[in-house]
Amino acid sequence: MIVGAYLVPHPPIIIKGIGRGDEIPDTRHAYQVVAAEIAGKKPDTVVIVSPHSVMYRDRFLVAGGTGATGDFSAFGVGMAGGGISIDYDEDFADLICKIAERRGVPSVQDNEAILDHGVTVPLYFIRAAVPYARFVKISPSGLPLATHFRLGGCITLAAARERRVVVVASGDMSHKLKADGPYGFAKEGPEFDRLAKECCETADFQRLLDLDHGFREKAGECGLAGMAVMAGALDGLDAKGRVLSYECPFGVGYLVASFTTDPYVWLARANVESVVRTGESIAQLPDLPKQMLSRQAGVFVTIKKDGQLRGCIGTIGPTQENVAEEIISNSVLAALKDPRFDPVDPSELDSLTYDVDVLSPSEVVVDEQLLDPKRYGVIVSCDGRRGLLLPDLDGVNTADDQIDIALKKGGISKAEPYSLERFEVTRHV
C-alpha cells in the first residue's frame, strides 16, 4: 500500500560542506520531519522520482540493476564511507513496468548505478531513517503530465501487492523568483509557487496538471513532472496534504510537503483489484492501523464509476472479526454481488472510486425531529424487514426524504408501524 508521499527539493547548498548548512533552515528542519515520518511508516520500498537523471522523450526510465551509489564530489565535497549506497527493489521495479505496459504507459528498465543529486540530496536526510528499505528510482519523461499521472497509478497498483511504499518526488519549484537570482525573474515564477503550495495543502493537484507547457517553461520549474507521478500514486486514496516549509532566498523555490493516505480506502481498492484480477482476496494484510484490527463495526463499501453508483453493500453491525475483515468482505460483495449491477470487469478498475463508511452503534429514535440527514443515517424496521440509508447523500435534504427512501429499500409501507434508529458514520472517501 502507499503509506505516504513527500515533495522535497534538492538544493546541494543544504549539505554541510557545500554550504554552511544554515542558509535554508526551514527546509533543513522540514527534511528532518520528513525523515522522522518516513521512519515511522516503516516502508519496504521507497520510490523516488528525480528530474536530473537520464530522461527520454517518449518513455519513463525505471532504474535497473541491483543498486546504486552517489556522492557530492561534483560539488567539491567528499563523504565518509565513500557516499550513499542503496539497493534497488528489482521485483517492484519490474512489476511497475509490467503494469505500465498493460496500461499503455511507455517505460524502459536500464541499469543505472550512479545517483544524481536529485536523489542524493533527499537521501542525505532520509537514508539513515530506513536502512532496511529498498528503492526504485524513476526518471520523468517528455510525455504529457497526464501520462506521468498514469504512471503514478501504476505504482499504486503495484503497491497493492502486500508492500508498504513511500513515494518521494524530488524537485525544486520556480527558478525565476528574483531579478538578482541566477535565473532572473518572471512573473510566472511566484504564480507557479503559490499554486503549488495551494495544491499541496489540499492534496488536489488538478490545477497544476492543467498548466500549459508555455507557462511551465516561463516559470522555470523542475518539480512538476515528479509531482504528477506522485499525484497519480495518491489518486483515490483520500490523501491529506501538509506544507512543511517554503523558502526562496536565492531566487529558487524550495517546497517541502507531506501527504498521508487513508488505509480504509486503500484496503477496499486493493481487495477489489485483487478479487477482480485474480479471483482471490488479498492474501496478507499489510501493517494496518490498530483500530482497523481491534475494533468491530458495521461497514458499508460504496463503489462509483464516473461519479455514478457502481455498487454498494454493507453491514449494519459487525459480522467479521474486525473492521479490516469487514471491509474485505463487503468490498467483494459491492464489486461482484450487488444485484443492481453486473460484476465489475477488469477493464473498469482504473475508473473506480471507493467510499468506506464505518458505522457507530445505532440508537432508537422516538421523535423524527431528532433525525438529521446530514449527520445521521437512518434504519427503519417492521416485522423483520429493515431498510437503511447512509447520511449526507446527494439529493437527500430532509428527514422525510431519508425515511421514504429507507422504507422503500426495506419493502415497508409508510402506513405500517415501523420503528426508527439513527447512527453516525466515519466516512473515508
Instruction: Name the segment(s) of the chain with CATH classification 3.40.830.10.
Output: 2-261
Whole-angstrom Cα distance, residue 187 to residue 2? 36
Give the model confidence (pLDDT) of 109-140 as tens digits: 998 889 999 999 999 999 999 999 999 999 99
Taking the domain 2-261, which CATH number applies? 3.40.830.10
The secondary structure element, H or E, covering residue 336 is: helix 323-336
Q: Which residues contact 70 (CB under 8 A, 6 or more apart)?
A: 83, 84, 114, 115, 116, 117, 119, 120, 123
**DSSP secondary structure code for residue 366 in this structure:** S
Is residue 161 over pLDDT 70?
A: no
* Residue 275 banded pLDDT, cuts 50, 70, 90: very high
* Residue 67 banded pLDDT, cuts 50, 70, 90: very high
Residue 408: how many other CB atoms lie within 10 Å:
14
Q: What is the mean pLDDT of the chain?
A: 93
Whole-angstrom Cα distance, residue 18 to residue 121? 11
Give the model confidence (pLDDT) of 77-99 as tens digits: 876 555 899 999 999 999 999 99
Q: In what order do the strands lie in the sheet with 107-111?
A: 107-111, 60-64, 134-139, 45-49, 165-170, 2-8, 254-260, 240-247
Q: In what order do the strands lie in the sheet with 385-389?
A: 363-365, 419-423, 377-382, 385-389
* Residue 301 banded pLDDT, cuts 50, 70, 90: very high
* Residue 183 banded pLDDT, cuts 50, 70, 90: very high
Q: Are 18 and 76 in contact (CB under 8 A)?
A: yes
Is residue 284 over pLDDT 70?
A: no
Give the model confidence (pLDDT) of 10-58 as tens digits: 999 999 889 887 899 999 999 999 999 999 999 999 999 999 989 999 9
Q: Are 354 and 332 in contact (CB under 8 A)?
A: no
- Phi and psi at 130, nearest 5°, equal -135, 65
DSSP assignment of 120-171, as one string?
A: HHHHHHHGGG-TT-EEEEEE-BSS-HHHHHHHHHHHHHHHTTT--EEEEEE-
**Residue from 350, 325, 347 nearest 264 by CA:** 325
Is residue 288 over pLDDT 90?
A: no
Q: Are 257 and 34 in contact (CB under 8 A)?
A: no
**Residue from 411, 371, 370, 366 nearest 387 by CA:** 411
Is residue 236 over pLDDT 90?
A: no
Rg from Cα positions in the chain:
24
Whole-angstrom Cα distance, residue 5 to residue 12? 22
Give the pLDDT mean for 328-353: 94
Residue 392: how many other CB atoms lie within 10 Å:
14
- What pLDDT is attached to residue 286? 65
Its CATH architecture, for the domain 360-429, is 2-Layer Sandwich (3.30)
Its CATH architecture, for the domain 289-359, is 2-Layer Sandwich (3.30)
3-state secondary structure (DSSP) of residue 243: strand
Instruction: Name the segment(s) of the chain with CATH classification 3.30.700.20.
Output: 289-359
- What pLDDT is attached to residue 82? 59
**Residue from 135, 127, 124, 112 nearest 53 by CA:** 112
Instruction: Name the segment(s) of the chain with CATH classification 3.30.1490.150.
Output: 360-429
Cα dihedral 397, 400, 405, 408, rounded to 10, equals -170
Is residue 71 over pLDDT 60?
A: yes
Q: Are 62 and 109 in contact (CB under 8 A)?
A: yes
β-bridge pairing 45-49 and 134-139: parallel
Residue 362: how many other CB atoms lie within 10 Å:
19
Q: Which amino acid is at 268?
A: A
Stated pTM of the model? 0.80
Bridge partners, residue 302, by sequence: 312, 355
C-alpha cell at 282: 488479498
* Residue 248 banded pLDDT, cuts 50, 70, 90: very high
Is residue 217 over pLDDT 60?
A: yes
* Residue 289 banded pLDDT, cuts 50, 70, 90: confident
- What pLDDT is attached to residue 349? 87
Q: Are 188 and 137 in contact (CB under 8 A)?
A: no
Give the sign of the dihedral formed by CA 368, CA 370, CA 375, CA 379.
negative
Is residue 311 over pLDDT 70?
A: yes
- What pLDDT is attached to residue 88? 97
- What pLDDT is attached to residue 293? 92
- Phi and psi at 374, nearest 5°, equal -80, -35
Q: What is the 3-state secondary structure (H, E, C) of 183-237?
A: CCECCHHHHHHHHHHHHHHHCCCHHHHCCCHHHHHHHCCCCHHHHHHHHHHHCCC
- What pLDDT is attached to residue 28? 96
- What pLDDT is attached to residue 177? 97
